[in-house]
Amino acid sequence: MVSASAKFRAGQLVHNRITKEDGFISDVFIDKGKFVYEVWVPRVADSWAAGNWVSHWLESVLKHSGNKHLGSPP
């Protein structure tokens, strides 16, 4: 389990300010002293139907997502 000082946790939707993508956090870990989030990114915006990519995002580029259409993956 990662330290409680991580800003986000698994199961949350986040928005990447750099890539302009929303995603679902599946895991949190620390790499070289920085929080890194394993994020499921939908292949088609606003839908999990087409599947997802897995990406690793740094905490510094994230904010909570306001995407009401995406929801959690199945």
* 16-43 residue pLDDT tens: 999 999 999 999 999 999 999 999 999 9
Query: Which amino acid, 6?
Result: A
Arithmetic mean of pLDDT, 29-58: 96
Residue 1 pLDDT > 60, yes or no?
no
Mean pLDDT of 42-70: 95
Share of the chain above pLDDT 70, in %: 95
Instruction: Calculate ∠ Cα 39-13-22, nearest 5°.
Output: 70
Which of 41, 43, 36 lies closest to 15, judged by CA?
Answer: 41
Read off the tokens for 45. Answer: 């915006």
Residues 63, 39: contact at Cβ < 8 Å?
no
Q: What distances in angstroms separate CA 10 from CA 31, 64, one per listed residue?
A: 16, 12
